[in-house]
Every structure is written in structure tokens, then in C-alpha cells.
Structure 1
Amino acid sequence: MTGTTLDELRMIVAIEQHGSLTGAAEALGVTQQAVSQRMRALERRWGLALFARSARGTRLTDQGTLVAEWAATLVGQADAFDSAVGSLRSDRAAHVRVGASLTIAEHLVPGWLVTYAADPSAAHVELTAVNSVTVAARVRAGKDDLGFVESPDLPEGLASYVFMKDEVVLVVAPDHPWAKRTSVSPAEVARTPLVSREEGSGTRLAMERALEIVVGAGAVVAPAAELSTTAAVRGTILAGGGVGALSARAVRDDLDAGRLRRVQIDGPAAVRPFAAVWNPQRRLAPGAARILEIASASA
């Protein structure tokens, strides 16, 4: 079956929003005939009746309304992706420099940037995605106006604001022996080499700190692998590479779909703060202050 295009999804969303093919065509800047032809082609391709047509006009069926809701989610994600990619460009004179740890950069920042970009006076955002220790160092050095970190320890010498809590969870592939267990002890996890992020990662530190509360400082063995991105850790675990610790946000879809299994630990949860940090001796630029406001409101 031919793949569905983003333009087709935008058409479905526009029809649902404007109540007619004509209204959708006007909103999208195309002809009503073009919208009608694309929608008929979709119905044939999918084998679904998306529209009820009569002398009084065309309206979405129940199936069509459901498809439009799904399409709106995908269109929103595509817009967030475009905004996030655009934030990586730094060739404009007026911009706000933001550093974000990887979990926050991947799962929260895109939505914030979409909201921020809707402001007519929004400055260009230059985003740098690194681990929490590096974010703090960049803010101290004046390389970034605003930083977002996810470490259990808030950086010294910086102003900070905790806007959200996050849990780091233990995950394995479905065929891993631990996938069938109801729980594992902190001691067993501590002596198991994990697939982990690099030193300086808030994700890694949160899990190690939670284990050390129970088994004692220095009892956690060295990782089986140290990887620099959340995606690399996730991919290694999905491929059957062992046991790993990741943000619950980063693996939510994998857990829901059964691609990964969460392993419960008998002990305190590995909870860490998501915090904004900035230099207290410098006044936040209006753009940075607005992004902080959006981040706070999102929680």
C-alpha cells in the first residue's frame, strides 16, 4: 500500500476543523477539487468510508472523525519536529541559546519550541543537546542563556527552578530472563553491568544513587557499555544487549507496545528532578524567560 503523505493528513485535519471540503481547501490554499480527489484516493487506498456525501455537502463519518483525530496528532508531531530541527540553526543575529540534557531535549523541548515560535516576537532558538554536567558547564561559561538538566544534584553556583519530576526505570527486551520476573533486588541490579549513559548523565546518576541508598556507596559495578545518547541505549536494549536504565518518558511507547519490559526493583524509585538553570548574575533575556515560563506551564 502506498504510504500516506503529510499533505493528505493535513487535508483530513483541515476538513475536520473547517467542516467542509471547501473550507479546508480555502485554509490550505488549494482547490476544492484537489481536496476531493485526494480524499477519494485515500478512501480507495484504505478501503474505508471517510466521508458521507449528500446533496447538502460532505461530512466526516465516524471512522473519518477518528482518522482525523489520529492525523492531528501526527501533524502536530511533524510540526514540532520541524521546529526542533530549525532550532539547530544559529545563523540569525537575534537568538536565544538553550542547552538541554538529552531526555529533556528529545521529549519536551520540541513542544516548548512550537509554543514559543507562535509568539510573533519570538527570537531564534539555538539548541545544544548534551548531558546534564555539560549543560551546567555551558551555562556557567556563558555559552547558553538557559539550561535544562535532569540530575539528582542541582548544579552549584547556578540559579535553578525544578519544574517537573521524572522516574528512571530498568528495562529489558521481552526475551531477557528478567522479563519474566516480578521484581529484582537492588543488590542484584547493583552487581549487574548495565547498558548505560556516559558519566555526567543525569539518567545514569539517578539510577546509581537509588541503588546506593540500599546497597551502599561504591557497590554498583561498572556499566556493560557506556553510550552517549538515550537512543543508543534504547536501541542496544531492544536488540537484546542486556539490562538498561532509561527515563520512563523515553521508553513509554516501547513499554505500551511490548517491545520492552519494565523490571521492578525492590527499593526506592529512581526519581530525579527536571530543572531549569541559569546564571544568577545575568538577567534572563526575554526569550529565555518565555521558554522557562512555557516549560513551567507544561508541567
Structure 2
Amino acid sequence: MDDLLRAPRSLSVAASLTIADHFLPLWIRTYVENGNDPRLLHSRSTNTREVVRLVSDSVVDLGFVEGSEPPKGLRYKFIAHDELAVYVAPGHPWAARGHISPWTLAGTPLVTREEGSGCRAVILAALQQHGVLPSEFAPPALELTSNTAVLEAAAANVAPIAISVRAAASFLRDSRLVRVGIDRTVFRRELGAIWGNSDVPQTPVARALLLAAETAGGNENQVPKHRQDSSRLDSRR
């Protein structure tokens, strides 16, 4: 019985699809290299909105989300940055043009992830910062529930997409997609960890995975000035 009481508690984790596919494996590898047991981790992938709900409802212990702002009422820790970009099939007219305006992008139906996706929210927010009005946004050409499905649809020339550069890397390398520049616009989002109302995650396993994620980071691991207080409850939303 004493051994059972001393046994480390397992950790339930939820991550957005992009993080689950392209960042979480690296973080888990670092977690294991730090001497921790991967058998204690139980993860699931979904969209950012659902990750927030799962953490808020205490269904999972730790979440990893995408976006420009931390969710209200949860603790947040910046982990890394992720860049988004617009891609089209080689036969699409934008491929020859090379770049378009934010208004052209906003007015074009895109293949997108479902509502609640962190990628979709970041694109809409960035375009609005450039003066694009909500009324100027075209409805999606097609909504899909996975990044792979979105990429395959774009490669089939269904419609343009806006997605993480990491997710699109193999399609770009194989010349199945072409990146299109957006005038004076960069789509950049934060990836972060969220948990309940405590200064740090409550279990040793959660703290170990969070440390591994911070150590490994992503494309870059420079904490923005407004995120340096990692345990502060966000009060701006």
C-alpha cells in the first residue's frame, strides 16, 4: 500500500492538432531524456477551443493551445512561436502572382479547419488588425477537422489555405503546394500551456512535462515581454 501511495500520478494532457503533430513529440522526447517515464503520460488531440474546455472542466490536467491570447481564467505559460502562411496548389492563379493583399485573402473562400481552431482564429484576428472588416470575410469554401485533410484539399486545388508552416513543410518540399505572401502581413501565434488555478501545475509529472516543453520550445523560444510572468492569471479578457 505504501508503494502505491508513493507511485507518481499519471498525467492527462490535451493538445491542439498542430501541437500534437509537430511539437508535442519533441517535448515528450525531452521529457524522457530528462529521466521521466513516458508511461505516465496520456494525451489526446483536438482543437484549441476544446482543449480549453477540457482543462476548464478538469477533464485533463494540462493543455497545450494555439492563439494570440491566453484563455480567460486559466494559468498560462508561453512555450514557443509558430508561423502560419497561405498556400495554394501550383496550378492556382495566386501561385504565379506570388503575393496578394490582406483584403484579397479575406474575400476569398478558403479551406479551413473547423470553428474553434486556433489557426483560424489567428488568421481572422491578424487580418482585422490590418483594417479588414468582419463583413469583408468570405465564408469558408470547406471546413475540415484535420490539418492533413486541409492540406490535401489545397493540393487538389479546392481552394487556398492558411496553415502552420510546420504542417505544410512536406507538401512544400514535394512541390504539391506553393507559398503565397500576404502584403505587409505576418501570421504569427503563440503556443502555450494552460492549467487550473494554481501557481504551477500541481503534479510532478505535469511540472516535468512543462519544463521539457519550455526547454525544447519550437522554432524559437524567446519569451515575449508580456508573457514573462508565467503564473499570472490573465485579466484582460
State the TM bucket, normalised to the shorter chain: 0.7 to 0.9
Larger RCO, structure (CA 8 Å, separation 6 or more): 2
Asked which structure has the greater CA Rg, the reply is 1
CA distance in 1, matches of 2:37, 2:145: 35
In the TM superposition, residue 115 of structure 1 has moved relative to its aligned partner by 3.0
Instruction: Report percent identity of matched pairs.
Output: 37
Q: Which residue of 1 aligns with 2:122?
A: 206
In the TM superposition, residue 207 of structure 1 has moved relative to its aligned partner by 0.9
**Residues 1:284 and 2:199 are matched in the alignment:** no
In the TM superposition, residue 122 of structure 1 has moved relative to its aligned partner by 5.0
CA distance in 2, matches of 1:122, 1:234: 30
TM value normalised by structure 1 = 0.66
TM value normalised by structure 2 = 0.82
Asked if the contact 2:94–2:180 (Cα under 8 Å) also holds between the matched residues in 1, the reply is yes
Q: Which residue of 1 aligns with 2:186?
A: 269
More helix by share: 1
The letter for the 1-side match of 2:19 is I
Structure 2 unmatched ranges of 5 or more: 1-7, 218-237
1:111 to 26, 36, 56: 26
In the TM superposition, residue 162 of structure 1 has moved relative to its aligned partner by 1.0
The verdict on how the C-alpha distance between 1:116 and 1:283 changes in structure 2, with shifts beyond 3 A counting, is: closer
Asked if the contact 2:102–2:185 (Cα under 8 Å) also holds between the matched residues in 1, the reply is no
The letter for the 2-side match of 1:126 is H
CA RMSD of aligned residues (A): 1.7
More strand by share: 2
SS at match of 2:134: coil
CA distance in 2, matches of 1:186, 1:244: 14
Asked if the contact 2:9–2:203 (Cα under 8 Å) also holds between the matched residues in 1, the reply is no
1:227 to 136, 144, 147: 144
In the TM superposition, residue 170 of structure 1 has moved relative to its aligned partner by 0.5
2:109 to 184, 193, 196: 193
SS at match of 1:150: strand
Asked if the contact 1:212–1:218 (Cα under 8 Å) also holds between the matched residues in 2, the reply is no
In the TM superposition, residue 256 of structure 1 has moved relative to its aligned partner by 2.7
Count of matched residue positions in the alignment of Structure 1 and Structure 2? 207
Asked if the contact 1:178–1:263 (Cα under 8 Å) also holds between the matched residues in 2, the reply is yes
Q: Which residue of 2 aligns with 1:144?
A: 60
Within a 5 Å distance, the mapping from 1:240-251 to structure 2 comes to: 240-251=157-168
CA deviations over 1:129-179 (Å, ceiling 9, x no partner): 011111011001111111000022311000001111111110011111111
In the TM superposition, residue 267 of structure 1 has moved relative to its aligned partner by 2.7
SS at match of 1:251: helix
Within a 5 Å distance, the mapping from 1:92-131 to structure 2 comes to: 94-118=9-33, 119=35, 121-131=37-47
The letter for the 1-side match of 2:125 is R
CA deviations over 1:73-103 (Å, ceiling 9, x no partner): xxxxxxxxxxxxxxxxxxxx94210010000
Structure 1 unmatched ranges of 5 or more: 1-92
The verdict on how the C-alpha distance between 1:244 and 1:125 changes in structure 2, with shifts beyond 3 A counting, is: same
